[in-house]
Amino acid sequence: MNAVVIEHVPVAELPPAWREKLAKATSALVTVRIEEEAQAAPAEEFATDDPLFGMWRDREDMADVAGYVRKLRASRFNDDGTRRDG
C-alpha cells in the first residue's frame, strides 16, 4: 500500500472540512497521512433477472443434484425388460 506523509502542516492550510474536525488552533502543526483505500472485491452480478431462477433451491429431495438428475435420466426399465420400482 502506498502512502503520502506530509509533516508539519499548519492547520490553517488544511481544507475547511478537515479543519472543522480538528480541535486545534489554526497555528498548530499536524502530520497528514494519505493512504490508498483497499479496493473491495467487485460485487458478483446475479446470473439472471428471471424470477423462476432458483425456485427449487429449498427442495430437500434435490439436495443431491447429481443423484437426482441421474435418477431422472435412468431408464424406466431394467435390462431384462421388467419395470423399475420408483
| Domain spans in the chain, listed from the N-terminal domain onward | 3-35
What would the mean pLDDT of 26-47 be, rounded to a whole number?
Answer: 84
User: What is the C-alpha separation between 12 and 18, in angstroms, rounded?
Assistant: 10
Q: Can you give the pLDDT at residue 47?
A: 74
Torsion of CA 24, 27, 28, 30, to 10 degrees: 110
Over the stretch 37-65, which tens digit does the pLDDT of each residue have?
888 877 777 777 888 888 888 888 888 88
Alpha helices in 1-86 (DSSP H): 16-21, 65-73
The reported pTM is 0.41
